[in-house]
Structure 1
Amino acid sequence: MDPIVAETVSCQNQITSFFDNQRIARLLRQSNIAKQCGIAPVVVMRMIFSLVFTGKNLFRYLQADDSGSDMGKDTVYRFLNSVNANWRKLLHLLCAAVLNKKILPLTSIETPKVFIVDDSLYNRNRSKNVELLARVHDHNDNRYYRGFRLLTLGWSDGSSYLPVSFSLLSSAQQKNRLAPMAKVDKRSNGFKRRLESMRTAPEVLKDLVRQARESGIRADYLLFDSWFAFPATIIDLLEQKQQVICMLKEAKTKYGYKGFDLTLKELYKNVRKRCGRAKILASVQVELGKDSRKQTVMAKIVFVRARNSKKWLALLSTDVDLSDEEIVKLYKRRWDIEVFFKISKSYLQLAKEFQSRSYDALVAHTTIVFARYIMLELARRSAKDPRTLGTLFHAGCDELRQASFAEAIGLLLDSLQQLVKTLGDEITAPVAAALDEFMAQIPAIFRRPMLLPACIF
Structure 2
Amino acid sequence: MPISILPHGKDGQELFNAISSFFSVFRIGNLLRKCNVQKEKGVSVIDISKYKLCNVFAGRNMYMQQKTSFFKEAFSMNTFYRFLNSPKTNWLRFTTLLSKKVADIIVPLTSEKRVNAFVVDDSLSEPTSCKQTELGSRVFDHTSMKYRMGYRPMTLGWTDGNTFLPVNSCLLASSKESNLISPIGQYDGRSLAARRRKLVQTKGTEAMI
Normalised by the length of structure 2, the TM-score is 0.83
Count of paired positions: 197
Partner residue of 1:164? 167
Give the Cα separation in 2 of the matches to 1:36 and 1:121: 39
**Using a 3 Å threshold, how does the CA distance of structure 1 residues 178 and 162 change in structure 2: closer, same or farther?**
same
Residue 154 of structure 2 contacts residue 172 of structure 2 at CA under 8 Å; is this kept in 1? yes
Corresponding residue of 2:93: 89
Counterpart code for 1:153 = L
The answer for the alignment partner of 1:149 in structure 2 is: 152
Cα distance change on mapping 1:162 and 1:11 into 2, 3 Å: closer
CA–CA distance in 1 between the matches of 2:139 and 2:54? 31
**Which one of 178, 181, 184 corresponds to residue 181 of structure 1?**
184
Q: Does structure 1 conserve the Cα–Cα contact (< 8 Å) formed by 2:125 and 2:150?
A: yes
User: For each residue in 1:95-117, what CA deviation from the matched residue of structure 2 results, as whole angstroms up to 9, or x when unmatched?
Assistant: 111111x2112112221111111
Taking a change above 3 Å as real, the CA distance of residues 95 and 11 of structure 1, as seen in their structure-2 partners, is closer
Query: Of residues 31, 41, 55 in structure 1, which corresponds to 2:59?
Result: 55
Give, as a single letter, the amino acid of the residue that structure 1 aligns with 2:94.
Answer: L
Q: Is 1:76 the equivalent of 2:77?
A: no
Q: Does 1:34 align with 2:49?
A: no
Distance 1:158 1:41 in 2: 35
Q: Distance in 1 between matches of 2:145 and 2:81?
A: 35
The separation in 1 between residues aligned to 2:81 and 2:175, in whole angstroms, is 28
In the alignment, structure 1 residue 133 sits paired with structure 2 residue 136 = yes
Residue 118 of structure 1: how far off its partner (Å)? 1.3
Cα distance change of structure 1 residues 127 and 33 upon mapping to structure 2, 3 Å threshold = same
1:23-58 CA-to-partner distances (Å, cap 9, x unmatched) read 211110011112155322222222222223333333
Paired residues of 1:31 and 1:89 also in contact (CA < 8 A) = yes
Displacement of 1:157 = 0.4
Structure 2 residue 107 is the aligned partner of structure 1 residue 109: no
Are 1:194 and 2:197 matched, yes or no? Answer: yes
Indicate if the aligned counterparts of 1:151 and 1:166 stay in contact, CA closer than 8 A: yes
Bigger Rg, which one: 1
SS in 2 for 1:154: strand
**Which runs of 5 or more structure 1 residues have no equivalent in the other structure?**
1-8, 207-457
SS at match of 1:14: helix
Letter in 1 for 2:54: S
Q: Secondary structure at the match of 2:123?
A: strand
Distance in structure 2 (CA, Å) of the matches to 1:36 and 1:133: 34
Instruction: Name stretches of at least 5 consecutive residues in structure 2 with no aligned partner.
Output: 1-12
Alpha-carbon distance in structure 1 between the residues aligned to 2:70 and 2:32: 27
TM-score by length of structure 1 reads 0.40
Q: Is the 8 A contact 1:62 1:69 kept in 2?
A: no
Would the alpha carbon gap of residues 128 and 12 (structure 1) be closer, same or farther in structure 2, given more than 3 Å must change?
closer
